[in-house]
Structure 1
Amino acid sequence: MSGLHVRGLRVILPGTGDVLQGIDLDVAPGEIVAIVGASGAGKSVLARTLLGFTQEQSGTSVAAARFEVAGHDAKRAGRREWRRMRGRDVALVLQDALQSLDPLRTIEAEVGETLALRRVPRAVRRERVVHALAEAGLPDPETLLARRSGELSGGMRQRALIASALVGGANILIADEPTTALDATVAVHVLDLLARIRDEGRGVLLISHDLAAVARVADRVAVLERGVIVETGPTAQVLSAPRHEATRALLAAAPRGPKSVAAQPAGRLLLNAEGLGRAYRSVTALRDVDLRVHAGEVVGVVGASGSGKTTLARLLVGAEHPDTGTIALGTPAPRIRLVPQDPLGSFDPRWSVERILRASSAPSSPGPRALLDLVELEPALLRRRPATLSGGQRQRVAIARALAASPDILVCDEPVSALDVATQAGILELILTLPSTTGAAVVFISHDLAVVRRVSDRVLVMSAGHVVEEGPTEAVFTGARHPFTRELISAASRAPQE
């Protein structure tokens, strides 16, 4: 097998300028190389360029002294050559599982697309799709073949994307944030899968903001800052003794330890949910869930992918109604708003940030400039459209949009799962201060235990649609009683200390 060899890679995007500058990168057969860096460093552009996608953009300039992919000279490869290489020689696991799967196609069609293009017989194709789904950690893969992406949880969709990259047997796998939407136990399975792929002799380029994931599986790591690799070396060496300021900043930003802001005194009862149940067809998403939310507190909700966290969020904001149980609101009735996991998909791409904020504003809410100030964004962004913002900026605009309605309860569904640790730290600090600055209570839903520990006063642990443990956050984290909670905490190894 041949690996990936790049020298002097430079990418210039129209209207943006140099996004990658002089990148040297090698991924040999049988090794995992990790790329880490802050939001906007150029990580995803690098991934797309290594598969020939960036080159297809009008007005883009891509040049390199050497660019070899699995033995092919890719410097001057055209669309036809890249299409032959993708899936067969190099494959990509995209970052955004919510947007990358076609909601109208079955999982069998999505995962087996590469094989269908090669005219692999349908019976053989189905067998290989089932095997790839199982490899990616999806239980009962045969039952998923006829389902569509909208019927899967975020974590299940992410694993389906991984299966689609594995099914073609490519020599090089480029994994762009492959554990972003996964809980700790499933993430460990996926990382172990990447390690097995490496041990089979294939090369893996892992792009991740999760330093714990990088420490677990990567042989070497490169730190990307503003399109330049500023530090590279063996993973243990770079993460334990970083030389560059950008590397030290990433390590310092990783969430660790308990909440640093004192809990607000419990205020009036805003919401009391009792015995909530919700089923979709024959699948029970929630069963007998109780939740109380008081003014001035942050309530964390954690659990595995598919445990019912997002279904609970949809019930709390009234997007769906429970099949059983009740949600009683305090008097006067509190205003409840959602900060979604995928802010880009929830914005009208034609609207400016100012129009987005004005459309959501209550008569008594601050103006757009004041709202941006609350989430520490520059007023100049008011004229911008969502697609031109970074992931961290979009998430802050999503929070500002929710605050525009002057909510009493803010329901945050995986608000930092797709963000690098530096950007994530800023969003968490913002959420930490919301109860004192705006008076809003926060329901914080996440698969990341370290993040929940950092922001929450109380925590609920969910498994298979049921709350298996709850209590004050530190009591749960330091003295977990339920086996599932202990398993989650054990699996959630955090980024190494400086």
Structure 2
Amino acid sequence: MSESADAAPLLEVRNLAVNFRTTYGDVSAVQDASLRLHAGRTLAIVGESGSGKSTTAMAVIGLLPKNGRITAGSIVFDGQELVDLPEDKMRRIRGRQIGLVPQDPMSNLNPVTKIGTQVAETLLVHGMATARNVDARVVEVLQAAGLPDAAERAKQYPHEFSGGMRQRALIAIGLACRPRLLIADEPTSALDVTVQRTILDQIDRMTEELDTSVLLITHDLGLAAERASDLVVMHRGRVVETGPAEQLLNDPQHPYTQSLVRAAPSVAAVRLQPGAYTASADERIRHAEETFSEHAGTAAEPQRTDNIVQLRDLTKIYKIRGKSEDFYAARNVTLDVPRGRTVAIVGESGSGKTTTARMLLKLIEPSSGTMMFDGMDVARLTKVQLRDFRQRVQPVFQDPYSSLNPMFTVGRIIEEPLSTYKRGNAQQRAARVRELMDQVALPHSMLRRYPSELSGGQRQRVAIARALALKPELLICDEPVSALDVLVQAQILKLLGDLQAEMGLSYLFISHDLAVVRLISDYVCVMKDGEIVESDTSEEVFTNPRHPYTRQLLASIPGNELEIYDDDAGIAS
């Protein structure tokens, strides 16, 4: 039974202030922040990246960076003050009583240790398993986190997992000890909607059965409103509004909260946004019906001059250690990307979306099939043609931390493609870098910072700015906004739409977030188990899905049925 609202909270943060020491002086990350979380309840902190959400959570669990320090306030967990608690006592609380699911899976998993060993370590250290039964407990924990073939997956390394599978492994570690409080920092940002639901349902069951409380950090307002009993909205290090989730969603009082609700595509997932781009929704649908290949997803090979990309029967096969059967990461993938349009590939993690994109980028070689770019066979490009191809086709990868050079400053990262391809002089390149920083909503003061000094969302914006630097014709976006808060997400999506209208850019857009796909895509291809099971115009897929798997994906969108605040129409569903 959960504690009543007037009982002592399990976690209470009062007037918290956190500063970071930098070479340019102290930076105030959190100021006068207060929140209360009762046992058995879920409290979500929402706000822009850099607003202080994760810093507040890390202060609670005592994992601030070395240059961070609590300068004021109190953190009381289960009646015990955590501020200035000796590290040896904090270790006994951390993991066993307060679990953590961090934001970035690749930098939080040991790359040279098997997944099962990392889960087992947590169980053994905190006395949740013995040497005799630890292997069985590891399988149970991984299964609870939604990993298929858990016994086999436990024997694999992080690099053998997809981004979503790595995130599920982190969730398994965070839940392994069944803590009283789980701090989940963007726990499902890399997961497709069906696995999101599996994981969040598991967290809900723990809340009910064990009175486990959840402190959820998320940029997905739809997910927060659907899963949390209470919301805390943070902006520039301060708490600007708190209250029951439904109340804040239906009647936000602070202007910043209102802007968050309006910008949240996950909440407004069932609605197209008329006028979001230069062409109206009707014009986009009509053009899609006229230009989309009738043979998308089949083996037909029409010669079309209006398609910048044509993939035919693209297949990627991997040999699996210890198994006689091959693994098909992609099987007979056939699709077109019309010039100046957006084709989205959606599906669960491991469905073949990223494999398809990496083949097109020539980062991995296909086992069979053909890839045509602007009439050229990508597999047969000469060295000179390949250099030109690399300028005309740019990627935005899913994990910004591993795709950015940690030894380069932000300015150098964005400027690197301009230097590599000798675009302009030093002054012109510097001006272009500042222009790109403005486009992705990053202040110029960040030019001298390093990736480790940025939040996950800020790193993703740097990656997008770098991809846009050469003004490519085709942008291959692998979860490009998955780490961004809703306001910046809306800015990036609008930016991509504006650039498409102005420059005729084409996008291959990979995402597990169907609400984002609805807003930006002209056509949608749904992948499952390496194959395209449905492909059509975006409007048709979202309003009249034919395949059962597509219907399952749509039904799993967080916040799909919630009513939201609309300052023009009052309340809109």
Q: Which residue of 2 aligns with 1:125?
A: 134
Look up the equivalent residue of 2:90 and give its one-letter code. W
- 1:268 and 2:333 equivalent? no
Identity of aligned residues (%): 42
* Aligned equivalents of 2:232, 2:449: Cα separation in 1: 32
* Aligned equivalents of 1:364, 1:114: Cα separation in 2: 50
| Alpha carbons of structure 1 residues 408 and 58: separation in structure 2 relative to 1, 3 Å | closer
Whether the aligned pair in 1 keeps the contact of 2:222 and 2:264 (CA below 8 Å) is: no
* Aligned equivalents of 1:379, 1:45: Cα separation in 2: 22
Look up the equivalent residue of 2:518 and give its one-letter code. R
Q: Which shifted more, 255-264 or 20-29?
A: 255-264
What is the SS of the residue equivalent to 2:247?
helix
* Aligned equivalents of 2:434, 2:67: Cα separation in 1: 33
Q: Which shifted more, 156-165 or 131-140?
A: 131-140
Q: Which residue of 1 aligns with 2:94?
A: 86
Q: Find the partner of 1:242 among 243, 246, 252.
A: 252
- 1:12 and 2:74 equivalent? no
* Aligned equivalents of 2:60, 2:195: Cα separation in 1: 27
Q: Which residue of 2 aligns with 1:278?
A: 316
Look up the equivalent residue of 1:124 and give its one-letter code. N
Look up the equivalent residue of 1:359 and give its one-letter code. E
* Aligned equivalents of 2:134, 2:105: Cα separation in 1: 22
Whether the aligned pair in 2 keeps the contact of 1:69 and 1:89 (CA below 8 Å) is: no
1:191-340 to 2 correspondences below 5 Å: 191-200=200-209, 201-255=211-265, 256=268, 257-258=271-272, 260-261=276-277, 262=279, 263=284, 268-280=306-318, 281=320, 282-331=326-375, 335-340=392-397
| Alpha carbons of structure 1 residues 144 and 59: separation in structure 2 relative to 1, 3 Å | closer
Unaligned 5+ runs, structure 1: none
Displacement of 1:452 in angstroms is 0.6
Unaligned 5+ runs, structure 2: 4-8, 292-304, 321-325, 377-384, 566-573
Displacement of 1:391 in angstroms is 4.1
Whether the aligned pair in 2 keeps the contact of 1:182 and 1:304 (CA below 8 Å) is: yes
Q: Which shifted more, 43-52 or 223-232?
A: 223-232
Displacement of 1:322 in angstroms is 0.7
* Aligned equivalents of 2:137, 2:113: Cα separation in 1: 18
- 1:3 and 2:15 equivalent? no
- How many matched pairs? 496
Deviations 1:46-96 (A, max 9, x none): 111111111x6246234324x222343312212211111111110101111
* Aligned equivalents of 2:84, 2:69: Cα separation in 1: 14
1:137-156 to 2 correspondences below 5 Å: 137-156=146-165
Whether the aligned pair in 2 keeps the contact of 1:357 and 1:368 (CA below 8 Å) is: no
- 1:111 and 2:119 equivalent? yes
| Alpha carbons of structure 1 residues 378 and 27: separation in structure 2 relative to 1, 3 Å | closer
**What TM-score, normalized to structure 2?**
0.82
Look up the equivalent residue of 1:153 and give its one-letter code. S
Look up the equivalent residue of 1:4 and give its one-letter code. L
What is the SS of the residue equivalent to 1:231?
strand
Q: Which shifted more, 157-166 or 387-396?
A: 387-396
Deviations 1:415-440 (A, max 9, x none): 00111111111111111122223332
Whether the aligned pair in 2 keeps the contact of 1:70 and 1:172 (CA below 8 Å) is: no
Whether the aligned pair in 1 keeps the contact of 2:59 and 2:70 (CA below 8 Å) is: no
| Alpha carbons of structure 1 residues 152 and 298: separation in structure 2 relative to 1, 3 Å | same
Look up the equivalent residue of 1:327 and give its one-letter code. M
Q: Find the partner of 1:475 among 529, 535, 540.
A: 540
- 1:458 and 2:523 equivalent? yes
* Aligned equivalents of 1:329, 1:414: Cα separation in 2: 22
Whether the aligned pair in 2 keeps the contact of 1:274 and 1:327 (CA below 8 Å) is: yes
What is the SS of the residue equivalent to 1:270?
strand
| Alpha carbons of structure 1 residues 165 and 62: separation in structure 2 relative to 1, 3 Å | farther
Displacement of 1:368 in angstroms is 4.1
Q: Which residue of 2 aligns with 1:369?
A: 431
Deviations 1:90-114 (A, max 9, x none): 0101111232111211111111222
Q: Find the partner of 1:183 among 188, 192, 210.
A: 192
Q: Which residue of 1 aligns with 2:459?
A: 394
Q: Which residue of 1 aligns with 2:108?
A: 100
* Aligned equivalents of 1:122, 1:208: Cα separation in 2: 36
Aligned-pair Cα RMSD in Å: 2.2
Q: Which residue of 2 aligns with 1:353?
A: 410
| Alpha carbons of structure 1 residues 391 and 147: separation in structure 2 relative to 1, 3 Å | closer
* Aligned equivalents of 1:207, 1:419: Cα separation in 2: 12
- 1:76 and 2:76 equivalent? no
Whether the aligned pair in 2 keeps the contact of 1:338 and 1:411 (CA below 8 Å) is: yes
Q: Which shifted more, 260-269 or 314-323?
A: 260-269
Whether the aligned pair in 1 keeps the contact of 2:167 and 2:190 (CA below 8 Å) is: yes
Whether the aligned pair in 2 keeps the contact of 1:69 and 1:90 (CA below 8 Å) is: no
- 1:433 and 2:498 equivalent? yes
Look up the equivalent residue of 1:346 and give its one-letter code. S
What is the SS of the residue equivalent to 1:123?
coil
Whether the aligned pair in 2 keeps the contact of 1:271 and 1:328 (CA below 8 Å) is: yes
Q: Which shifted more, 89-98 or 338-347?
A: 338-347
Whether the aligned pair in 2 keeps the contact of 1:352 and 1:382 (CA below 8 Å) is: yes
Q: Find the partner of 2:513 among 448, 454, 461.
A: 448
| Alpha carbons of structure 1 residues 426 and 356: separation in structure 2 relative to 1, 3 Å | same
Q: Which residue of 2 aligns with 1:414?
A: 479
Whether the aligned pair in 2 keeps the contact of 1:371 and 1:403 (CA below 8 Å) is: no
Deviations 1:122-155 (A, max 9, x none): 2322222221111112222112111111111111
| Alpha carbons of structure 1 residues 354 and 228: separation in structure 2 relative to 1, 3 Å | closer
| Alpha carbons of structure 1 residues 400 and 6: separation in structure 2 relative to 1, 3 Å | closer
Look up the equivalent residue of 1:258 and give its one-letter code. L
Displacement of 1:26 in angstroms is 2.1
* Aligned equivalents of 1:393, 1:179: Cα separation in 2: 18
| Alpha carbons of structure 1 residues 89 and 380: separation in structure 2 relative to 1, 3 Å | closer
Whether the aligned pair in 1 keeps the contact of 2:95 and 2:126 (CA below 8 Å) is: no
Whether the aligned pair in 2 keeps the contact of 1:182 and 1:305 (CA below 8 Å) is: yes
Deviations 1:199-246 (A, max 9, x none): 021111111111221222211111112222221111111111111112
Displacement of 1:359 in angstroms is 2.5
Look up the equivalent residue of 2:356 and give its one-letter code. L
Look up the equivalent residue of 1:52 and give its one-letter code. G
Q: Which shifted more, 9-18 or 458-467?
A: 9-18
Displacement of 1:268 in angstroms is 3.2
Displacement of 1:393 in angstroms is 4.1
Displacement of 1:390 in angstroms is 4.5
Look up the equivalent residue of 1:497 and give its one-letter code. I
Whether the aligned pair in 1 keeps the contact of 2:44 and 2:224 (CA below 8 Å) is: yes
